[in-house]
Chain A
Amino acid sequence: MTSQSSIFVTLSSTAVRSGTILLLPTLGEIFAERAGILNLGIEGMMIIGALFGFIAGFVTKNPYIGFVVGMIAGGLSALIHAFVSITLRGNQIVSGLALTIFGLGITNFFGQPWINRKFTIPVKDYAIPGLSKIPYVGQIFFHQDLFVYFSYVLMIAMWFMLFKTKLGVHLRAVGENARASDAMGVNVNRNRYFWTFFGGLLAGGGGAYLTLVYAPFWLDGITAGRGWIALALVIFAMWNPLYAFIGAYLFGGIDALQFQLQASGTTIPSSLLNMQPYLLTLIVVVAATIVLRKRHIGTPRELGEPYDREER
């Protein structure tokens, strides 16, 4: 293998890991939005998962326990949003923002003693027999850690569930027309609660993956807007779990590339390199919105609208 192609492979496999941080929250938000709940708290849930996952991993010396704790922390924080926006029928946009402010505040508060601590236990990569032998693709996608494989399986399982099972029909119905699905005997609020919680689990998982594997240390505000990028990727994926990886790995690639450029001592100022993912997300969202409009693929119809059984 020439050195140029090995750089490409290293870069791409870093892109997949960086993309996984975004893929998990994007998948979670796709399901929450499909069920009609817009959660702008992804950034907050991610950073809560990032801190508490990091602490749990640090204390138990086990990244897998850390990841699970991060997921649970993210899920629990999502329940605040669920309670305010489903049970109390509050404004979802403001509630989600409040969740982000809450997450940034609470992690600043509890994270102080952990700043700059490093999580030194390496997470093992596993080669998948057979698949890992495929040139390039095998090296990039099938020489990864268990978390990355978890995201592959999850993505396919979620796609299957959403479009091929009764559970998925209920989930979509609740977000498209809550009243009709209620009449059909689907419990609207229970569905919405569950999928909001589920979205929190995955957002927390994405955050925990960041602080346990990709950048294994704690810094205040370490998620740096990834939650907002994930929110944009939901539109880019057209609310389909199967397309979520395209956007996620694209942005993982930019992240990996600018990291690589900085490491190689480029003269481009780092602030301008750091800006690229946000600039590109903006361009991509505009492009995706234009395409979606032409093809008449819209947001779930009742996204962001609370459901009140008694209202007529």
Chain B
Amino acid sequence: MISFKGINPLAAYKALLIGAFGSTYTFSETIVAATPLILIATGLVLVFNMKFWNIGAYGQYIMGAIFSSYFALNVSPSVSPWILLPVMCVASIIGGAIWALIPAFMKLVWEVNEVISTLLLNYIALYILKYLMYGPWRNPTSHGFPLSKMFAANAQLPRIWPHTRVHLGIVFAIIIVFLMYFIIKKTRFGYETRVIGENSTAARYAGISIFRNTMLAMAISGGIAGLAGMAQVSGVIHLLQLEINPNYGYTAIIVAWLASLNPIAVLLVSILLGGIEAGGSQIQMMMHVPYGIVGVIESSILFALLGGEIFKTFRVKFRRRG
């Protein structure tokens, strides 16, 4: 497809690879892109396991960024970061959780299709962000650009790898991955969510509360997506703006699915797709290949995987037929 543009496709793919894993710096950018993907996808694994189709990580991520930015922009720069950063984390989790509980409630009480409600809430969150960025939260010295003021040092997540943008968020992400693995495999709650996903009627007969479990799982899923939004504004760009890459919310769906809904696999797949994202922006700058190629590559991988599942599930049958 790239060859349509008169660019040698092999050279472009090579550049994409180098842009992702070629040098220490590009690899660090891959980690930066992988951080929000790991977080969001880990939250999605939990709800996808119960067959609750939360497509709203995009909006939950935005709400997390907005809620945490409120404190970053309004709390005095003299407050200790040991107080402010935890407050911002909690605020982002609450923001994302609220945005996830609305569709969960609508589904549980009125049976509103969650795919549609979460998607519509994404657009509503996006326009709230737009409103803030063009209105009350715009930096008066930004010359009309939709940017907030720069966060003070006490509202910035520390960078943990010198001379790169890799920040503390990656540590959160890794901790949450293992925590989620433990929750899903070892706790009663995790077990109940899996039963609901397998057979919700059976779960109801077994006395498992679908309402309580779904609300809790969605609050966790949305809360983690919100935290990813906080990590992005506080760890990477240090201000709130329109371009906070909420599309990670959609890419994370691909990650969760490629990882077969396993939190540990999420870690690896995120680095792979983070690499494609980082490499994509690299070849966009160097070879002027539009960034859209990233979406095409990612969706092609996903189609291939979905198609491949049949060979996994129906292997026995094929043999019998042959």
Contact = CB atoms under 8 A, between A and B. Distances in A.
Interface of A: 40, 80, 83-85, 88-91, 93-95, 97-99, 101-102, 104-112, 225, 228-229, 231-232, 235, 269-272, 274-275, 278-279, 281-282, 285-286, 289-290, 293, 308, 310
A93 B115 contact: yes
B116 A109 contact: no
Given A91-B306, A95-B303, A285-B112, A274 B127 contact: yes
Nearest to A279: B124
Contacts of B289: 109
19 contacts: A40-B115, A88-B309, A89-B310, A90-B307, A95-B302, A101-B298, A105-B293, A106-B295, A107-B292, A110-B4, A112-B290, A228-B123, A229-B120, A231-B119, A269-B134, A275-B128, A278-B120, A278-B127, A281-B120
A132 B106 CA distance: 44
Contacts of B1: 106, 109
B117 A101 contact: no
Contacts of B297: 105
B34 to A, nearest CB: 18
A102 B301 CA distance: 10
B112 A289 contact: yes
B87 interface: no
Contact of A109 (B106, B127, B293, B298): B293
Given A93-B53, A109-B293, A279-B124, A101 B299 contact: yes
B15 interface: no
Given A40-B115, A94-B302, A271-B134, 19 more contacts: A88-B310, A90-B306, A94-B306, A97-B250, A101-B250, A104-B295, A105-B294, A106-B296, A112-B290, A228-B119, A231-B115, A232-B116, A232-B120, A269-B135, A282-B124, A289-B110, A289-B111, A289-B112, A289-B113
A37 to B, nearest CB: 14
Contact of B295 (A91, A101, A232): A101
Contacts of B112: 285-286, 289
Contacts of B115: 40, 93, 231
A102 B120 contact: no
B299 A102 contact: yes
Counting from the closest, the 7 A-B pairs by CB-CB distance are: A105-B295, A108-B292, A90-B306, A102-B299, A275-B127, A271-B130, A109-B292
B291 A108 contact: yes
B101 to A, nearest CB: 14
A229 B181 CA distance: 36
Nearest to A272: B131
B121 interface: yes
